Amino acid sequence: MGLPLRFPRRLLLLALLLGLSADRLFVGRWLGLSAPLFVAADLLALAWLSRAEGRPPTRANLWLGGATLLFASFLAVRDAPVLVVLDSVAVVGLLLLLVGHYRGPGLFRIPLVQALATSLVASWTMGIAAPVPIQQSIRSLPVRRTHLVAVLPVARGFVLALPAVLVFGALLMAADSVFTSYVMQTLSFQVPFDPASAVYHMLVTLAVAWLCAGGLVVALRGQGQPDGAHGLPAQGETQRLYWPYLPRPILGWIEALTILSALDALFSIFMLVQGAYFFGGLDTLARTGMSYADYARHGFFELLTVACLALALLGVLAVTTRHHTRLHRSLFNTASGAMVVLVLGMLGSAFQRMWLYEEAYGFTRLRVYTHSFMLWLAIVLFLYLTALLRDRARIFVFGCMITALVYLAGLNVANPDALIVRANIARYMVSGKLDVNYLGTLSADATPNLVASLGKVDAGAQNIFLATLHQQQMVLANARTQQGWPAWNLARARALAAQDTMR
- Tell me the per-residue pLDDT of 304-315, one tens digit each, with 9 for 90 and over: 788 888 888 888
Q: What is the pLDDT of residues 6-47, one digit of tens each?
A: 888 889 999 999 999 999 999 989 999 999 999 999 999 999
Residue 380 clears pLDDT 60, i.e. is over it: yes
Q: At what angle do helices 365-390 and 416-431 cross, to 10 degrees?
A: 120
The reported pLDDT for the residue numbered 234 is: 36
Closest listed residue to residue 359, CA positions, set 426, 446, 260, 273: 426
- pTM score, whole prediction: 0.79
8 Å CB contact between 250 and 320? yes
Pairwise CA distance, residues 265 & 61, whole Å? 44
Closest listed residue to residue 9, CA positions, set 100, 205, 207, 142: 142
> What does the mean pLDDT of the chain come to?
80
The reported pLDDT for the residue numbered 65 is: 93
Pairwise CA distance, residues 449 & 438, whole Å? 14
CA 174 remoteness from chain centre:
61
Question: Which residues have a Cβ under 8 Å from the Cβ of 277 and sit 6 or more positions away?
Answer: 283, 284, 287, 288
Residue 327 clears pLDDT 70, i.e. is over it: yes
pLDDT band at 169 (very low <50, low <70, confident <90, very high): confident
The full set of domain ranges for the chain reads 8-138+196-221, 149-189, 253-414, 418-500
8 Å CB contact between 368 and 297? no
Pairwise CA distance, residues 370 & 152, whole Å? 66
Pairwise CA distance, residues 242 & 337, whole Å? 17
Element spanning 334, H or E: helix 326-361
- Mean pLDDT for 383-405 is 85
The vertex-410 CA angle with 78 and 37, nearest 5°, equals: 45
Q: What is the pLDDT of residues 185-226, one digit of tens each?
A: 776 666 565 667 788 888 899 899 989 988 888 888 865 443
Pairwise CA distance, residues 336 & 257, whole Å? 9
The reported pLDDT for the residue numbered 418 is: 93
Pairwise CA distance, residues 8 & 14, whole Å? 10
Q: Is 281 left (phi over 0), alpha (psi -120 to 50) or beta?
A: left
